[in-house]
Amino acid sequence: MVRLVVSGTMSGNLLGIQGNGSPVQWDAIDLYRLQGGKISQEWAAEDLTAILHDTATYTAPWIH
């Protein structure tokens, strides 16, 4: 299992959202299944609400 924070600058297309040079940051969790010492499966969960908020595409009702 890996928990990470992804950060960068919106310089290109992300999830169909055109880049505008703004900073973006979100949390992610990746789960891995190992077999024979190698990754055989991966599951990922991204904080899509944070991505949409940072790109000014959507503001969740609980974010002020």
pLDDT in tens, 15-50: 788 888 888 888 999 999 999 999 999 999 988 888
- The pLDDT value recorded for residue 64 is 66
pLDDT at site 1: 94
pLDDT in the model for residue 19: 83
CATH number of 2-54: 3.10.450.50
CA distance 6 to 31: 16
Q: Please answer whether residues 33 and 48 qualify as being in contact, where contact means their C-beta atoms are separated by less than 8 angstroms.
A: no
For residue 5, list its beta bridge partners: 27
Domain ranges of the chain: 2-54
**Cα–Cα distance list, 50 to 1, 17, 25, 32 (Å):** 21, 13, 7, 23
